[in-house]
Amino acid sequence: MRYFLRRTLFLLGTLWVAITLNFLIPRLMPGNPASVMIAKFMGRGQQINPQSLHAIEVMLGISHASLLSQYWQYLGQVVHFNFGLSYTQFPYSVTYVIAQALPWTLGLVGLSTVLSFIIGTSLGILAAWRRNKMTDSVVTSISAFTNAFPYFWFALAAVYFLSYLHNWFPLTGAYEIGSTPTFSGAFILDVIRHGILPALTIVISSMGGWLLGMRNNMINTLGEDYVLLASAKGLKSHWIASMYVARNAILPNITGFAMALGFVVAGSLLTEVVFAYPGIGYAMYNAVINEDFPLMQGIFLIIVLCVIVANFVADLLYVLIDPRVRRGGES
């Protein structure tokens, strides 16, 4: 119980620090979002009246109040999940922009993370059990290769060969331009067709990490005496592999997985940028390059929140699956 209480306090403390930093950092930046907007028009060659600076400031509601009073106001807004209005997509709210992007990210990155965890971990078990055999060397060397590959390059190469040269997959986006998002069979098929290549690149590039981690843990655990004992008892090898070795070896991977789930919300920045996929990562990229502070703050806060909560859940899960943590906390 004390363990749970301590974790909860830690969670709340981290949250407060994250929220406060999130409030402070954009306000420490020099410059003014209104002039960014004007600069954007200028960069494009559009004529704009310098006088509009004032009107845009009024429109965006740029506050000149004291930092402390802004802070209180901000805390009140955060509690109500009100992150203000986006600068670039004015007058839409940050919450609206995030709500538009989040389902795409959860679908694409969430599914590919789960898939790559399941495939990677299972292959890791297999590789460790058949270590130093053909299967192991093939699987391990391939995953060491894909794991070390720069993702950006890999994704661009995939787009170039599979979409641009061969037209096997669509070039970009989450669905065909011109179709209206609905829950019709045709539209869902279209979304799946657009999702395959980005998902494939994520799975292939992240699978190796799970595989190598699992294999190493397994091999460590295989050296334990109780494994030797189990073999001596004459237990079937697949039973030993799954119930004795893998069950113990999977613990670090579970923590990693819980954290990875937290990071799903952050989207896969590179994937979404390469494929122009309308998710959170792409929204964040655009918020950053356009200095859309409210949107950046909103997205960062959601990410921090998810990562902290995922960490918390992983901590709690550990207690359930590993009794040592429980006892360790009380001794």
Binding footprint of another protein on the chain (CB under 8 A): 29-33, 35-56, 58-59, 85, 88-92, 97, 100-101, 104, 171-173, 175, 177-182, 272-273, 276-279, 282-283, 286, 289, 291
- Pick the closer one to another protein by CB: 90 or 154: 90
- Please, what is the minimum distance in Å from the beta carbon of residue 193 to another protein? 15
- Please, what is the minimum distance in Å from the beta carbon of residue 30 to another protein? 5
CA 13 to chain centre: 22
- Please, what is the minimum distance in Å from the beta carbon of residue 172 to another protein? 5
- Please, what is the minimum distance in Å from the beta carbon of residue 45 to another protein? 5
- Please, what is the minimum distance in Å from the beta carbon of residue 89 to another protein? 4
**Sign of the dihedral defined by the CA atoms of residues 160, 165, 168, 170, in that order:** positive
Please name every residue paired with 93 in a beta bridge, in sequence order, or none if there are none. Answer: 85
- Pick the closer one to another protein by CB: 1 or 28: 28
- Please, what is the minimum distance in Å from the beta carbon of residue 237 to another protein? 50
- Pick the closer one to another protein by CB: 33 or 213: 33
Calculate ∠ Cα 304-307-308, nearest 5°: 80
Q: How many CB atoms lie within 10 A of CB 198?
A: 25
Question: What is d(CA 291, CA 87) in angstroms, rounded to the nearest whole number?
Answer: 8
Print the SS3 string covering 148-161: HCCHHHHHHHHHHH
- Please, what is the minimum distance in Å from the beta carbon of residue 60 to another protein? 8
Enumerate residues 6+ apart whose C-beta is below 8 A from 35.
Answer: 53
- Pick the closer one to another protein by CB: 36 or 200: 36
Amino acid at 25: I
CB-neighbour burial class of residue 59 (10 A; exposed 0-12, middle 13-18, buried 19+):
middle
- Pick the closer one to another protein by CB: 92 or 239: 92
Contact criterion met (CB below 8 Å) for 294 and 86:
yes
Question: What is d(CA 161, CA 322) in angstroms, rounded to the nearest whole number?
Answer: 46
- Please, what is the minimum distance in Å from the beta carbon of residue 184 to another protein? 11
- Pick the closer one to another protein by CB: 163 or 216: 163
- Pick the closer one to another protein by CB: 90 or 318: 90
Question: If you search the block for the tokens 């989040």, which residue do you land on?
Answer: 102
> In the chain, which residue ranges form alpha helices assigned H by DSSP?
2-28, 33-43, 52-60, 67-79, 94-105, 111-129, 134-148, 151-158, 185-222, 225-232, 237-239, 247-249, 251-264, 269-274, 280-289, 293-321, 323-330
- Pick the closer one to another protein by CB: 31 or 223: 31
Question: If you search the block for the tokens 């290549």, which residue do you land on?
Answer: 197
